[in-house]
Amino acid sequence: MNVIVCIKQVPNTANVQVDPETGRLKRDSADSIINPLDEYAVEEGVRIKERTNGKVTVITMGPAQAESVLRVAISRGADEAVLVSDKAFCGADTLATSYTLSCAIKVIGNYDIIICGKQASDGDTAQTGPGIAGMLDIPHVSYVKKIESVDDKSIKVERSMEDGCDLIESPIPVLLTVVKEINSPRMASLKGKMVAKKAVIKTLDAISIGVDVEKIGFKGSPTQVMKVFTPHIEICGEKFSGQAHEVASAFVKKLSNTGILQK
């Protein structure tokens, strides 16, 4: 089985700090990592490859430095990596991104399963995966928490829902978006790191994937950011300190005065 895994480079929010005065991200702390949920996508792709023989190709759209997350994926078992990069892709929303990636995936070709993480930690939209499937006109299943079985014609998966899980069968090719429960991603081996260091990363630009220039980047994005503003954050309503019983009693009194306890 040939698997394509779509990954994204995101700011490392674990280290991001917010300037309390401006409410903005402190830039020096915002280095980049592989989107956490994409690690599960890579792992699942590698597991499918190990079971069925085939290869895993990781793909990302982004600036030149996004190459680093592709190397992370190779160190964890991916075979090939493709960086889709062009100034013309800049300013893309989820629709233009889905379109661009779907064009690149057509160029890569010969795939059975495409896997994406459920959502990226920076945008949180969860839109690009299903969007790609729509553009490629292949079925997709979101929120996959388990692959029950897979052969060269079809795949059975468990889809995680609010109230339980649905069992869905899909023909191949198919696109899956995966949730955390699906596996525990492996750490990179020393050998994997060596391979990743030396790996040649293929770069595809707008011309090589044959995109319609009207559908990419800022121009191809139906949604446009009108303005960005800092939400009003109330810095603490009320503080309670002192002995534990004093804190508790003052606080409960406050709660009962505000009527919260009665509701």
Kindly tell me which of 194 and 260 has the beta carbon lying closer to another protein.
260
**Cα-based distances in Å from 242 to 167, 235, 248, 255, 257:** 54, 20, 10, 18, 20
- Please provide the size of the chain in residues: 263
Output the six-digit token pair for 90.
Answer: 């800049």
Cβ atoms of residues 6 and 60 within 8 Å: yes
If binding is defined by CB under 8 A, does position 97 make contact with another protein? no
Residue 153 binds another protein (CB under 8 A): no
According to CB under 8 A, which one of 3, 74, 78, 88 is a site residue for another protein?
88
Would you count residue 12 as binding another protein (CB under 8 A)? no
Q: How far is the CB of 99 from another protein (least distance, A)?
A: 8
- Taking alpha carbons only, the member of 138, 118, 135 closest to residue 127 is 118
Residue 207 engages another protein in binding (rule: CB under 8 A): no
By CB under 8 A, is residue 9 in contact with another protein?
A: no
Stretch that binds another protein, among 70-78, 105-113, 196-204, 242-250 (CB under 8 A): 242-250
| Contact between 204 and 82 (Cβ < 8 Å) | yes
Closest CA to 94 of 55, 58, 37, 135: 135
Of 191 and 214, nearer to another protein (C-beta) is: 214
CB closer to another protein out of 194 and 252: 252
Only segment of 22-30, 67-75, 182-190, 191-199 that touches another protein (CB under 8 A):
22-30
Please report, for residues 26, 40, 148, 151, 159, the alpha-carbon distance to residue 32 in angstroms, rounded to integers and kept in the order given.
13, 18, 34, 36, 30
User: Smallest gap, in angstroms, from Cβ of residue 3 to another protein?
Assistant: 19
Q: Return d(Cα 168, Cα 150) in angstroms, integer.
A: 12
Give 2 or 142: the residue with its C-beta nearer to another protein: 142
- Site pattern 42..81 for another protein (x: CB under 8 A): ---------------------xxx----------------
Strands 9-11 vs 32-34: parallel, antiparallel or unpaired: antiparallel
